């Protein structure tokens, strides 16, 4: 909010300065003497005001810079007053020419600049104000005498020649003096308020520019002279803001800044002291001569239960235990005599309990003597809590001993000065000793350390002392004396230093980490086993292929080729639907793919492939749907070879059938001979061996479960490896331990006697992995139901599916060229279709061609350098030129990224290639447009210069001569001559107005403006202030609705409001003007309207009024140039809006214009 207010004040000041500049400039063109008098009177009033404030508050000032400046500017104002009276045309000093006011000006500026230079020397000093007035009076008198009577002051202006060398050199000298004053002020900037300092600096800087402008004029009525006086007004205005406005509105920031700072410091100190007393744990109180409490601090509530106000004016002795009352009274008397006394007694709380406290009392001193009637200040410390804390400390130490025993964590302390080592009870236990069995020594400690670790332990401790480190720690072994057991401990020590920094004590801990060490070793072994298994899984490759509805295969991997037995070249020219899919599966597969295209959901199904050798391989496909760049459907398939899976299922099925058949045959042939029984047993043994071989050698995990309770009855080695258990541990678990919570598949198994799907499985370490599950329920030889579960880890397949889905589509459908290359391949091997299309080739044509073939001949020699940069930095972007198949060359932007392994070797590079032909063309067009725009702006600026100088100056001379002719010869040449002169003067004035309006119109389009967030209400207020005289003259009533804050040029928006409202008052007819301003917001921006009750406009003229120099009324009826509405239209169109009018003759008009929504950055870009 402060920033917004500050910006608002800056904007208001800028608007005020600009408006003042325009008003004063118009005044100077009308009557330069009036302008000069106004400028000097303003500075004289400011100088006198500074003096009056500084003089009247001089006794409060500590920064006497302002007192010195006040006195100095009073006498500067005196010289400026004489300068004003002496100015050419005033007629007061008629015997003098223009040299007199110029001399007075230089004298005043010398006095002003030297005073500003010397003023910082008075910071912190206390000069006598009357001494300063006397000194400046003498200087003032001398300057006037040297100019008027002694005439020793050098000439500054010569009629017909202009400024003298002394005057010009003096102006530069004054600028140097002011620069020195600026440096001195900055050197003492800490003595000033920040805002006051900025305003003083601004005043000095503007004064420097004012003096420089006075070195340029020849005529006292020239523009340079006007600019110098205007800058002087600005400089004095800034000084007014610094020393008068701030001094009156915020005196503590300027006049009493040091007093305010001291008062604030005192207030903070008092607050800190009171906060300190109220937050002490002890009680502070006062007792008067009668023994009554006069003050009690807030902690009394927590100690005694009383609020402070409850104890004030009560006798302190009434709270003392009767047995301690005598000692308390004697203590008070002793304190009065000896100044200080300490006592201990019991005091009664609000609840009636007595608490033992200690007091430290001190007599209150006045004028170096103890006066008992003034009371006593006593600090009370509650020792009840201390005694309770001591008891709790003993209990805490006992708990610490128990905790150390539980955690096997002991502590020790070594006093290096007295060579005393102390062990806690747990240290003795860790070393296999009875607590405090003997006095601990460093040698006894080393004897308990394992011989292989003893030297390292001793060196660790000794080196920490030798190198003066603050701490050390080490893990080593110890041998227990009681049973020779080897234990592993973690030991840490911190060294304590005395005031000189010497290590005098060591405090350490011994932690028995034997069990943790064993657990870490087991965990490490488990992690190594898991890494080995993960490596095996990582090396397994899953077949995948990308097929199209026309039967072609565009992408596949080596595992797919191995699966179907075809080479890569054969598969590229093969119809997978006709050549690989058996006829009996085609309708089924077509239905599945139709389902995929309808639901957009991946489908999973089983089928068989016809291999090249004619054999069939059972597979499972997981098919995803996407589209290529042409919008055609593309199928991404992940294929799982089910040969082993089917073989196991077939073996299990055959075994079940065989076992059942055996049972039946065995029942029917009980009478057969013992030989047949032996043969059958042997046959069963061989079948069992066959089953066991298949079971143990399967790459998939196999489990036999009990469907009723889920217990695991049998597991092969692959299953143990998958779940991270040994076979005995795995057989102790149930199905819930490894498949929970996803058991819905097994519920379906109970209903349909089989199940096939994907589940998440849990390893022993708590991690999960996705698995493909196939299960079936069968009866064993005993007739018990058993469930056979086949588990296949599909982690790699899932990752492949995700990666391929993510990057496959990006690679295939990218709108820029992508090439993957390696250092050992200098030909194009792997690229996306867009890269081939960009160069006019097909993928087949471009595959295998040298990389250099796509580069323009003049770019090929530098390619190796760019590749080297990409390899070294990892990423490199450059522009180059490529050549198409038809021989045309086009510009490209190349973005190369090197992918490296762990050793930093480059594995391959991913290169993105973008055709930037259109961008280059756009850059060239933009460059030509900017050149044309620059030439156009230069022409317009030249026109503005001609209009403002070459055209206006002759017109001004013509008008001046005609006015002088009219004044001198009026009524002497006849009525016709008077009328002709009047016509000529009027024509010159109108021509000047036309040129100025035309110049304003051209500046709207060529001037560089900066869009700002402005409040339209403030702009309207400024407009009404500028039109105040017209409003009063016409008795106009102007109202408005709340206006918004928008992004626009404030000066140009002010001109829009001013032109439209001025027109509404001008074309009022015979009515009193009623004008209303409003704004409404729509989807595109703000719509402003200005409604009046004037003469109105015929509908056939509503378009003409916005055309340059177009007028609908005679000049004799309404003055003007016909440029106002054209300027409004130009400004609004430049802001991206439009302007129009709705009107009826005699009913008034409503002018509308729009300002669209726009960010500041967009608006600034439009303005440029």
Of 332, 289, 292, nearest to 311 by C-alpha is: 292
Residue 545 pLDDT greater than 50, yes or no: yes
590-594, long-range: CB within 8 Å, 24+ apart, which pairs?
A: 592/623, 593/623, 593/635
Residues 86-117 pLDDT 10s:
887 787 887 788 888 888 988 988 988 898 89
Cα 394 from Cα 382, distance rounded (Å)? 20
Q: What is the pLDDT of residue 502?
A: 87
Cα 766 from Cα 665, distance rounded (Å)? 48
Q: For helices 65-86 and 129-148, what crossing angle results, to 10°? A: 20
State the average pLDDT over residues 807-830.
71
Which has the higher per-residue pLDDT, 1083 or 400? 1083
Least confident of 2-6, 463-467, 790-794, 833-837: 2-6
Whose structure tokens read 């030509």?
Answer: 928
Token representation of residue 785: 């139901």
Residues 841-853 pLDDT 10s:
988 888 888 888 8
State the average pLDDT over residues 34-61.
80
Cα 960 from Cα 943, distance rounded (Å)? 24
Q: What is the pLDDT of residue 1007?
A: 56
Whose structure tokens read 């500017």?
Answer: 73
Whose structure tokens read 């009063």?
Answer: 1032
β-pair partners for 606:
620
State the average pLDDT over residues 1137-1158.
87
Which has the higher per-residue pLDDT, 351 or 921? 921
Q: What is the pLDDT of residue 582?
A: 92
Average pLDDT, the chain: 78
Of 128, 104, 122, nearest to 44 by C-alpha is: 104
Residue 315 pLDDT greater than 50, yes or no: yes
Query: What's the Cα-to-Cα distance from 788 to each of 246, 649, 714, 746, 884, rounded to whole Å?
Result: 95, 9, 9, 11, 62
Q: Do residues 156 and 164 touch, judged by C-beta distance below 8 A?
A: yes
Residues 721-770 pLDDT 10s:
888 898 888 888 888 888 756 555 555 555 556 778 888 888 888 888 88
Q: What is the pLDDT of residue 863?
A: 86
Which has the higher per-residue pLDDT, 807 or 331? 331
Cα 834 from Cα 372, distance rounded (Å)? 103
Q: What is the pLDDT of residue 697?
A: 78
Nearest-10 Cα torsion for 132, 137, 140, 144: -170
Cα 20 from Cα 234, distance rounded (Å)? 10
Least confident of 13-17, 246-250, 278-282: 246-250
User: What does the longest C-alpha to C-alpha distance in the chain come to?
Assistant: 169
Residue 245 pLDDT greater than 80, yes or no: no
State the average pLDDT over residues 1151-1156.
92
Q: How confident is the model at residue 4 (pLDDT cuts 50, 70, 90)?
A: very low
State the average pLDDT over residues 339-359.
75
Of 376, 32, 386, 454, nearest to 224 by C-alpha is: 32
Which has the higher per-residue pLDDT, 268 or 903? 903
State the average pLDDT over residues 775-799.
82
Q: How many other CB atoms sit within 10 Å of the CB of residue 593?
A: 19
Predicted model pTM = 0.31
Of 865, 869, 826, nearest to 848 by C-alpha is: 826
Residues 593-647 pLDDT 10s:
899 889 889 999 998 999 989 999 999 989 998 888 778 888 888 888 888 888 8
Residue 1067's φ and ψ, nearest 5 degrees, are: -95, 55
Cα 163 from Cα 956, distance rounded (Å)? 24
Least confident of 17-31, 371-385, 606-620, 823-837: 371-385
3-state secondary structure of 151: coil
Q: What is the pLDDT of residue 373?
A: 31
Residues 937-991 pLDDT 10s:
666 656 655 655 556 666 666 777 777 777 777 777 777 777 767 767 766 666 6
Q: How confident is the model at residue 374 (pLDDT cuts 50, 70, 90)?
A: very low
In the chain, the percentage of residues whose pLDDT exceeds 70 is 76
Residue 161 pLDDT greater than 70, yes or no: yes
Q: What is the pLDDT of residue 250?
A: 47
Length of the chain: 1168
Alpha helices per DSSP H over 509-642: 514-539, 558-564, 568-572, 583-599
Cα 877 from Cα 895, distance rounded (Å)? 4
Q: What is the pLDDT of residue 1101?
A: 67
State the average pLDDT over residues 293-299.
75
Which has the higher per-residue pLDDT, 428 or 992? 428
Q: How many other CB atoms sit within 10 Å of the CB of residue 167?
A: 21
Residue 315's φ and ψ, nearest 5 degrees, are: -70, 130
Residue 1088 pLDDT greater than 90, yes or no: yes
Query: What's the Cα-to-Cα distance from 801 to each of 322, 451, 500, 621, 681, rounded to whole Å?
Result: 91, 58, 69, 12, 49
Q: What is the pLDDT of residue 193?
A: 75
* DSSP character string of 1027-1087: THHHHHHHT-EEEE----EEEE-HHHHHHHHHHHHHHHHHT-TTSPPEEEEEEEE-SSEEE
β-pair partners for 505:
415, 496
Cα 358 from Cα 378, distance rounded (Å)? 10
Q: Do residues 720 and 730 touch, judged by C-beta distance below 8 A?
A: yes
Cα 303 from Cα 384, distance rounded (Å)? 10
Cα 1055 from Cα 1049, distance rounded (Å)? 10
Residues 402-447 pLDDT 10s:
655 565 678 888 888 787 888 888 888 888 887 777 677 788 788 8
Q: What share of the chain is helix, strand, coil (3-state, %, to 5)?
A: 55, 20, 25
In the chain, the percentage of residues whose pLDDT exceeds 90 is 7
Residue 778 pLDDT greater than 80, yes or no: yes
Q: What is the pLDDT of residue 337?
A: 66
Cα 1018 from Cα 1054, distance rounded (Å)? 10
Q: What is the pLDDT of residue 256?
A: 44
445-449, long-range: CB within 8 Å, 24+ apart, which pairs?
A: 445/421, 448/478, 448/479, 448/480, 448/481, 449/476, 449/477, 449/478, 449/479
Residue 733's φ and ψ, nearest 5 degrees, are: -95, 170
Of 293, 267, 312, nearest to 377 by C-alpha is: 293
Q: What is the pLDDT of residue 1159?
A: 45
Residues 1095-1104 pLDDT 10s:
888 777 677 7
Q: What is the pLDDT of residue 5?
A: 42
3-state secondary structure of 554: strand
Query: What's the Cα-to-Cα distance from 510 to each of 166, 450, 459, 489, 493, rounded to whole Å?
Result: 93, 15, 17, 6, 9
Q: What is the pLDDT of residue 667?
A: 66
Cα 301 from Cα 1166, distance rounded (Å)? 71
């Amino acid at each position: 909010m402060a920033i917004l207010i500050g910006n608002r004040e800056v904007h208001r000041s800028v608007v005020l300065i600009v408006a003042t500049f325009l008003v004063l400039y118009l005044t100077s063109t009308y009557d330069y003497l009036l302008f000069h008098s106004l400028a000097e009177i303003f500075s004289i009033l400011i100088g006198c005001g500074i003096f009056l404030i500084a003089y009247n508050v001089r006794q409060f000032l500590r920064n006497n810079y302002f007192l010195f400046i006040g006195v100095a500017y009073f006498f500067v104002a005196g010289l400026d007053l004489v300068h004003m009276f002496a100015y050419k045309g005033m007629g007061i000093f008629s015997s003098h020419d223009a040299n007199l006011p110029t001399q007075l000006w230089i004298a005043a500026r010398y006095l002003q600049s030297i005073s500003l230079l010397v003023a910082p020397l008075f910071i912190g000093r206390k000069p006598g104000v009357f001494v300063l007035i006397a000194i400046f009076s003498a200087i003032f008198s001398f300057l006037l005498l040297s100019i008027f009577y002694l005439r020793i002051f050098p000439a500054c202006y010569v009629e017909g020649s202009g400024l003298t060398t002394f005057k010009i050199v003096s102006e530069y000298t004054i600028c140097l003096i002011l620069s020195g004053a600026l440096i001195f002020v900055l050197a003492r900037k800490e003595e000033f308020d920040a805002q006051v300092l900025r305003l003083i600096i601004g005043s000095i800087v503007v004064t420097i520019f004012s003096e420089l402008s006075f070195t340029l004029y020849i005529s006292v009525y020239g523009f340079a002279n006007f600019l110098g006086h205007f800058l002087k007004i600005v400089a004095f205005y800034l000084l007014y803001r610094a020393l008068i406005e701030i001094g009156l509105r915020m005196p503590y920031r300027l006049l009493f800044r040091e007093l305010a700072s001291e008062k604030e410091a005192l207030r903070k100190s008092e607050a800190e002291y009171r906060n300190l007393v109220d937050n002490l744990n002890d009680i502070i109180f006062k007792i008067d001569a009668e023994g009554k409490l006069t003050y009690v601090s807030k902690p009394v509530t927590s100690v005694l239960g009383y609020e402070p106000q409850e104890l004030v004016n009560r006798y302190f002795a009434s709270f003392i235990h009767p047995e301690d009352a005598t000692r308390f009274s004697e203590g008070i008397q002793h304190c009065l005599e000896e100044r200080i006394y300490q006592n201990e007694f019991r005091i009664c709380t609000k609840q009636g309990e007595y608490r033992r406290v200690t007091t430290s009392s001190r007599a209150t001193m006045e004028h170096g003597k103890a006066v008992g009637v003034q009371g006593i200040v006593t600090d009370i410390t509650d020792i009840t809590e201390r005694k309770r804390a001591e008891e709790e400390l003993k209990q805490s130490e006992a708990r610490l001993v128990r905790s150390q025993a539980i955690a096997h964590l002991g502590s020790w302390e070594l006093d290096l000065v007295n060579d005393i080592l102390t062990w806690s009870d747990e240290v003795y236990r860790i070393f296999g000793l009875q607590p405090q069995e003997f006095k601990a020594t460093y040698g006894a400690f080393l004897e308990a350390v394992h011989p292989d670790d003893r030297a390292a332990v001793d060196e660790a401790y000794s080196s920490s002392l030798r190198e003066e480190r603050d701490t050390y720690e080490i893990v080593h072994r110890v041998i227990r004396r009681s049973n020779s057991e080897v234990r592993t401990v973690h030991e840490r020590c911190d060294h304590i230093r005395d005031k000189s920094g010497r290590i005098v004590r060591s405090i350490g801990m011994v932690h028995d980490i034997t069990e943790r060490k064993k657990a870490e070793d087991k965990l490490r072994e488990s992690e190594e086993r898991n890494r080995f298994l993960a490596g095996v899984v990582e090396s397994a490759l899953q077949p995948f292929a990308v097929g199209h509805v026309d039967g072609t295969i565009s992408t596949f991997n080596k595992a797919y080729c191995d699966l179907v037995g075809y080479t890569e070249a054969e598969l590229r020219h093969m119809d997978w639907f006709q050549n690989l899919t058996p006829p009996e599966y085609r309708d089924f597969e077509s239905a599945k793919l139709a389902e995929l295209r309808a639901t957009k959901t991946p489908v999973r199904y089983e089928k068989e492939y016809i291999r090249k050798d004619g054999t069939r391989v059972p597979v499972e496909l997981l098919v995803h749907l996407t589209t290529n760049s042409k919008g055609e459907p593309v199928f991404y398939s992940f294929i799982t070879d089910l040969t082993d899976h089917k073989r196991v299922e077939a073996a299990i099925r055959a075994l079940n059938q065989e076992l059942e058949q055996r049972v039946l045959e065995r029942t029917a042939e009980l009478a057969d001979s013992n030989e047949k029984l032996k043969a059958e047993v042997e046959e069963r043994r061989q079948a069992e061996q066959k089953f066991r071989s298949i079971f143990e050698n399967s790459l998939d995990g196999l489990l036999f479960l009990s469907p009723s309770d889920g217990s695991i009855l049998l597991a092969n080695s692959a299953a143990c490896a998958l779940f991270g258990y040994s076979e005995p541990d795995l057989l102790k678990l149930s199905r819930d331990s490894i498949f929970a919570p996803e058991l819905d598949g097994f519920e379906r198994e109970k209903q349909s006697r089989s199940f096939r799907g994907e589940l998440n499985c849990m390893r022993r370490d708590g991690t999960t992995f996705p698995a493909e599950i196939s299960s079936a329920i069968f009866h064993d030889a005993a007739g018990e139901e058993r469930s056979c579960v086949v588990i296949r880890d599909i982690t790699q397949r899932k990752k492949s599916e995700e990666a391929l889905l993510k990057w496959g589509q990006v690679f295939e459908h990218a709108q820029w060229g992508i090439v993957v290359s390696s250092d050992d391949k200098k030909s194009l091997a792997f690229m996306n279709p867009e890269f081939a299309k960009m160069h006019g080739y097909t993928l087949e044509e471009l595959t295998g061609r040298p990389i250099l073939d796509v580069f323009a001949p003049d770019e090929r020699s530098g390619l190796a350098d760019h590749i080297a940069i990409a390899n070294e930095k990892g990423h490199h972007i450059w522009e180059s030129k490529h050549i198409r198949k038809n021989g045309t060359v086009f510009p490209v932007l190349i973005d190369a990224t090197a992918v490296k392994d762990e050793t930093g070797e480059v594995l391959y590079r991913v290169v993105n290639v973008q055709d930037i032909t259109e961008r280059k063309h756009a850059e060239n067009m933009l460059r030509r447009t900017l050149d044309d725009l620059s030439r156009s702006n230069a022409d317009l600026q030249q026109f503005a210069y001609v209009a403002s100088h070459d055209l206006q100056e002759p017109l001004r001379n013509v008008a001046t001569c005609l006015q002088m002719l009219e004044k001198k010869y009026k009524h002497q040449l006849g009525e016709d001559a008077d009328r002709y002169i009047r016509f000529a003067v009027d024509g010159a004035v109108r021509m000047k107005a036309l040129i100025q309006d035309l110049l304003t119109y051209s500046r709207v389009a060529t001037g560089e403006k900066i869009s700002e967030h402005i409040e339209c209400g403030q702009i309207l207020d400024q407009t009404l202030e500028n039109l105040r005289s017209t409003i009063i003259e016409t008795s106009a009533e102007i109202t408005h609705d709340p206006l918004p804050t928008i992004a626009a040029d404030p000066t140009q928006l002010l001109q829009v409001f001013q032109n439209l409202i001025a027109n509404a008052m001008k074309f009022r007819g015979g009515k009193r003007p009623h004008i209303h301003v409003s704004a409404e917001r729509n989807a595109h921006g703000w719509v402003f309207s200005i409604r009046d009750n004037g003469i109105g406009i015929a509908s056939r003229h509503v378009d003409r009024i916005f055309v340059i120099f177009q007028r609908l009324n005679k000049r004799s009826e309404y003055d003007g140039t016909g440029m106002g509405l054209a300027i409004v239209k130009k400004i609004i169109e430049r802001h991206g809006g439009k302007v129009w009018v709705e009107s009826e003759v005699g009913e008034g008009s409503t002018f509308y214009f729009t300002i669209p929504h726009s960010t500041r950055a967009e608006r600034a870009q439009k303005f440029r």
